[in-house]
Structures are given as structure tokens and as C-alpha cells.
């Protein structure tokens, strides 16, 4: 018999509610407890949580969410505590100090932060081995990636149990070995974003044209095979080495010519204007619907390949 997990989510912003929706709609049994300091938390959750459902074919009962009225009550029976609160080091340090007092000794403690490393968040904790960052790619009820970023103090067993939890739920947990600024996914995306800003700023393409380029090339390519795998394939039997042998000169020429716009350099007004003009307010529901379908198809096709031994 599988034990029903008690999952406590602290913070009911979009990340917290998206995680709640993920756990509630997952076939693995769990009890979701939510805690937030906002006074209208009950009405707020009842109103906003249903928006994270995939639609009529995927229902979850928001009544299954337990609201805790104190932090102690929220965590005292938890197997997992994930905080998705404000990006404020002082708040997070205080939070973990309290959580540590009341949560069971073997509860996993996770932070959804995109920027404050576990080594800083755990500074006031007695036992710093229990905490790590579990950074989702937004929104977590749809996107498979979780970046697991332990501090140097986080124990191996905590990392392994965290990995196992997400793998069991068909997600993609990746253990990041150093507490780099922005972790990995954002660093990569922002590197590409920076060159995108440079090219729009130089008048080479518009904001919408740049998006079309990515949507009709790298996007679908990298959804199937990441950059290294793609270029390794591009090099033929000689792999990545062959790729660099063939077009390393062009790669280096692009690197030598790469743009380095910074915030405050004056590109902002025109880039923001073009985005607004091209997209107005994006229909996120449609985007999410298409993304879900895409991920389903990818999963199905990759499983087909694996089953056929390819």
C-alpha cells in the first residue's frame, strides 16, 4: 500500500497554486495543505486554484485542499514542505527556522526560489542538511523540469529522495551541482534573450520575427533533442567534435560578434513597444493548452522510440 503523502505548500501565488494543481491532479495519492498569511486565503484559493486545471477532462476538487491557520499546523504532519513565498532572504530565513521547529525530522524542505540559494536560506537553521531549492519552470503544473539545487550542506539522501519523488511523478528533476546565479535554465534562456535583444536593437529583425524564427527552428528542435545532442547529431559519425571541425569557425565568429546589451542601455522602450504591439495581452490559457498537447505527444513519441529500442 502506498502511503498518502502530506504535502504542505507555503504561499498561494501563481507558483504555489500551480504546484497545488499538479499534486491534486496527479494519480499518486496525497493530501495538500496550504498556508498563506493573506487574510482572505480561503476565498482566494477557492477562486484562483480552479484556473490551473487542464479543463473539463481533468477535474480536481479544491475541497481536498486543507487550509492551515498557523505555520505550525501547516507543517507538523508534513512529509514535504515547499515554500513559494516572496523572494526575500529575511522572510525565507525566518520561515525555515520556524518550519524546522515544527516539521517532522525527516520532512523534505524545498524552496521554489529562482534566485536565493539554499545556503543563504538555511543560515539560521540548526540542521542545514534538510533544505534545497526545487526550482520549477513556470508553470509547474505543466512544465516537466525541476532544478534541484542543494547547498553544500544538503545531504545526499535528501537530494536522492527529492529526485525520486519527482521521477515517480514523471517529471524531470535535474541535480544542479553548484549554486550558480540563476541556476541553469534561466542562465541559458537569458543568454539567448540577450542576443535576441541585441538583434532587435540593431534592426536586424523585429520582436515578432525573432519569435517566429525560434518557433520554427530551435524551439521544436530542442523540444526533441537538446543543443548538445542536436549538434552531436549534426556532426555525423564524428559527433560534436565533427560539428566543431565543420563549422567551428562560424560558431567562434558568432561568439566574437555577440551582443552584450545591459539593463538601462536604452533598448527597453522600443523592445517593450514592439512586444506590446505584436502580442497585446497573450492568451496564456491557449499557450498552456497547446504546450500540454505538445508535451503529451513528445512523451508518447519518445516512449514509442524507447519501446522499439531506438
Instruction: Give the C-alpha separation, 35 to 19, whole Å.
Output: 13
Regarding 47 and contact with a copy of itself (CB under 8 A), the answer is: no
Whether the upstream peptide bond of residue 291 has omega within 30° of 0, thus cis, is no
Tell me which stretch binds a copy of itself (CB under 8 A): 18-26, 28-36, 69-77, 189-197.
189-197
- ∠ CA 64-65-69, nearest 5°, is 140
Regarding 250 and contact with a copy of itself (CB under 8 A), the answer is: yes
CB 80 within 8 A of CB 8: yes
At its nearest, how many Å lie between a copy of itself and the CB of residue 189? 5
At its nearest, how many Å lie between a copy of itself and the CB of residue 176? 6
Regarding 195 and contact with a copy of itself (CB under 8 A), the answer is: yes
CB 34 within 8 A of CB 109: no
Regarding 83 and contact with a copy of itself (CB under 8 A), the answer is: no
CB 110 within 8 A of CB 82: yes
- Label residue 47 exposed, middle or buried (CB < 10 Å: 0-12, 13-18, 19+): exposed
CA distances from 216 to 181, 219, 220, 224, 231 (A): 30, 7, 7, 13, 17
Terminal Cα-to-Cα distance of the chain (whole angstroms): 35
Instruction: Fill in the per-residue mask, 220 to 239: x = in contact with a copy of itself (CB under 8 A), - = not in contact.
Output: xxxxxxxxxx-xxxx--x-x
Nearer to a copy of itself, 81 or 148 (CB): 148
Q: Which of residues 252-281 bind a copy of itself (CB under 8 A)?
A: 252-258, 260, 262-263, 268, 271-272, 274-276, 278-279, 281
| CB half-sphere exposure, 217, CA atoms < 13 A | 7
Q: Of 145, 141, 250, give the one whose Cα is nearest residue 188.
A: 145
Q: Which of 91, 144, 153, 155 binds a copy of itself (CB under 8 A)?
A: 144
Q: Which of 5, 97, 137, 163 binds a copy of itself (CB under 8 A)?
A: 137
Regarding 164 and contact with a copy of itself (CB under 8 A), the answer is: no
Regarding 152 and contact with a copy of itself (CB under 8 A), the answer is: no
Q: Which of 177, 201, 266, 270 binds a copy of itself (CB under 8 A)?
A: 177
Instruction: Fill in the per-residue mask, 5 to 44: x = in contact with a copy of itself (CB under 8 A), - = not in contact.
Output: ----------------------------------------
Nearer to a copy of itself, 5 or 176 (CB): 176
Amino acid at each position: 500500500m502506498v502511503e498518502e503523502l502530506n504535502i504542505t505548500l507555503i504561499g498561494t501565488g501563481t507558483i504555489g497554486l500551480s504546484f497545488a494543481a499538479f499534486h491534486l491532479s496527479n494519480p499518486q495519492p496525497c493530501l495538500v495543505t496550504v498556508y498563506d498569511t493573506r487574510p482572505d486565503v480561503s476565498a482566494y484559493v477557492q477562486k484562483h486554484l480552479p484556473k490551473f486545471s487542464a479543463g473539463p477532462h481533468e477535474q480536481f476538487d479544491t475541497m481536498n485542499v486543507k487550509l492551515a491557520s498557523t505555520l505550525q499546523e501547516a507543517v507538523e504532519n508534513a512529509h514535504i514542505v515547499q515554500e513559494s513565498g516572496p523572494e526575500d532572504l529575511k522572510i525565507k530565513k525566518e520561515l525555515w527556522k520556524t518550519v524546522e521547529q515544527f516539521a517532522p525530522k525527516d520532512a523534505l524542505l524545498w524552496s521554489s526560489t529562482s534566485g536565493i540559494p539554499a545556503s543563504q536560506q538555511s543560515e539560521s537553521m540548526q540542521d542545514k542538511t534538510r533544505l534545497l531549492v526545487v526550482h520549477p519552470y513556470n508553470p509547474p503544473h505543466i512544465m516537466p523540469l525541476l532544478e534541484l539545487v542543494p547547498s553544500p550542506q544538503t545531504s545526499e539522501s535528501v537530494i536522492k529522495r527529492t529526485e525520486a519523488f519527482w521521477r515517480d511523478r514523471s517529471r524531470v528533476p535535474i541535480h544542479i551541482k553548484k549554486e550558480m546565479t540563476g541556476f541553469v535554465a534561466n542562465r541559458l534562456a537569458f543568454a539567448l534573450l540577450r542576443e535576441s535583444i541585441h538583434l532587435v536593437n540593431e534592426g536586424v529583425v523585429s520582436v515578432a520575427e525573432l519569435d517566429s524564427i525560434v518557433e520554427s527552428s530551435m524551439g521544436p528542435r530542442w523540444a526533441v533533442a537538446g543543443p548538445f545532442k542536436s549538434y552531436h547529431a549534426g556532426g555525423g559519425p564524428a559527433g560534436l567534435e565533427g560539428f566543431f571541425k565543420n563549422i567551428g569557425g562560424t560558431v567562434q565568429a558568432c561568439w566574437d560578434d555577440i551582443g552584450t546589451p545591459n539593463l538601462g542601455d536604452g533598448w527597453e522602450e522600443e523592445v517593450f513597444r514592439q512586444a506590446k504591439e505584436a502580442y497585446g495581452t497573450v492568451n496564456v490559457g491557449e499557450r498552456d493548452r497547446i504546450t500540454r498537447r505538445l508535451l503529451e505527444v513528445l512523451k508518447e513519441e519518445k516512449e514509442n522510440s524507447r519501446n522499439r529500442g531506438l
